[in-house]
Amino acid sequence: MKRFIPETRAVNVVKRFTCDELVELLTAYLEDVLDRPSHDGVRAHLSCCEHCERYFEQFRATIRVLGDQPPEKLPAGVRDRLMSAFRERHGG
Amino acid sequence: MGAFAGGRLPPDDVVVTALRAGDETMFAALLDTWSRGMLRVARSYVSTDPSAEEVVQDTWLAVIDGIDGFEGRSSIKTWVYRILVNTAKKRGMRESRTLPWSAFEADGVPFPDGVSFPDGGRWGEPGAAWPSPEGEALAAEVRALTAEALGRLPPRQRVVITMRDVEGYSSDEVCEILEISAANQRVLLHRARTAVRGWLADYYGSVKQAEQ
């Protein structure tokens, strides 16, 4: 069965968001889980709202800083103990 | 980490077979690849570094004991991390730092200073621009501040943002380990990012004022 879907309904639908709505959608936008009209709506809003664009930039800068934490390491003593435990378990 | 330089571990069945056979190189590779993330995640639930180290140690001991019974219903990484999260939760409960998770259901973070929408959902006073993170001193300070900010988040938000943004785990992995829905994970992540951004904004604001 061939279904007729008017193409005009799928195109050119862009949701409009206020700034307070927009900032709540940024994670979903970055995760690419918004439906098409919402995704396009966020992009359209960001391209013409200086304040939201700045906020978005800061939001992304925050994510970058979070990913830039100094590496952690298990203390050598703990690591040694665990290696011995593993060895003992296997009769080494 | 020699044999698996680059941090790429072999497929799960190879890993599990090696562990069961007592392959020390494989065990060492897992230890060195996952322990740093595990330490951070443990710290979301317990109050001190030594506690977090003990949680990670107890987790690995449980892995050594339990690997023969691993049924492969999840990935080995998810299995290890679930043991970690359970161990850390129990420990955190004992330290009574962790409230029951239900207590955090409504833990919305209010917008920090400088973010308000009084005018029909539009910006009132927009936040100031941030300086570019030039200069190692500023970068180090921002890193330290970010670590502190993580410590101020409610545990559920903290563990999600730690796995996602600090350790770079995928949304699917995090949902599987914490046994939460994708939507719930996203809400927690968004609140956490919003809070951390707010604290960074406050900090940059104070730096700017000090310069004037």
CA distance B52 to B34: 14
Decide if A4 is inside a domain: no
Which chain A residues have a beta carbon less than 8 Å from that of B171? 31
pLDDT tens, residue by residue, A25-67: 999 999 999 999 999 999 999 999 999 999 999 999 999 999 9
Decide if A2 is inside a domain: no
Question: How many domains does chain B divide into?
Answer: 2
Nearest residue of chain B to residue A62 (CA atoms): B197
Domain boundary (B56, B72, B94) is at: B94
B132 reaches A (C-beta below 8 A): no
Of B35, B61, B143, nearest to A74 by CB-CB distance is: B35
Length of chain B, in residues: 212
Q: In CATH, what number is assigned to the domain containing residue B84?
A: 1.10.1740.10
Contact A33 B22 (CB under 8 A): no
Domain boundary (B57, B78, B94) is at: B94
Note down the domain range covering A51: 10-89
Choosing among A25, A46, A65, A88, which should be mutated to test the B contact, i.e. which has the most B CBs within 10 A?
A65
Q: Quickly count helices (H) and strands (E) in chain B.
A: 8, 0
Name the amino acid, one letter, at B29: A
The pLDDT, as a whole number, for residue A91 is 77
Which chain A residues have a beta carbon less than 8 Å from that of B39? 72, 74
Q: In CATH, what number is assigned to the domain containing residue B189?
A: 1.10.10.10
The token pair that represents B175 in the structure block: 């949902």
Q: Measured between CA atoms, how close is B202 to chain A, in angstroms? A: 12
Decide if A64 is inside a domain: yes
Same domain as B170, residue B112: yes
Same domain as B67, residue B15: yes
Note down the domain range covering B82: 2-94
pLDDT band at A17 (very low <50, low <70, confident <90, very high): very high
The token pair that represents A43 in the structure block: 């992009």
Contact B194 A23 (CB under 8 A): yes
Place of tokens 């180090």: B140
DSSP A10-42: HSS------HHHHHHTHHHHHTT-S-HHHHHHH
Half-sphere exposure of B145 (CA within 13 A, CB side): 20
Same domain as B86, residue B122: no
Report yes or no: B70 and B21 within 8 Å, Cβ to Cβ.
no
Same domain as B106, residue B20: no
> Quick one: average pLDDT of A19-24?
94
Of B28, B127, B143, nearest to A68 by CB-CB distance is: B143
Choosing among B34, B60, B119, B208, which should be mutated to test the A contact, i.e. which has the most A CBs within 10 A?
B60
CA distance B50 to B152: 19
The token pair that represents A84 in the structure block: 């011995």
pTM over 0.80: yes
Of B36, B165, B189, nearest to A71 by CB-CB distance is: B36
- Using the CB atoms, write b or e for B177-193: b if 16+ within 10 Å: bbebeeeebbbbbbbbb
Question: How many domains does chain A divide into?
Answer: 1
CA distance B56 to B63: 11
Domain boundary (B32, B64, B94) is at: B94
Contact B197 A79 (CB under 8 A): no
Torsion of CA A89, B3, B7, B8, to 10 degrees: -90
Same domain as B117, residue B37: no
The pLDDT, as a whole number, for residue B148 is 92
The token pair that represents B19 in the structure block: 């562990």
pLDDT tens, residue by residue, B61-119: 999 999 999 999 999 999 999 999 999 999 988 886 445 544 444 444 444 545 677 77
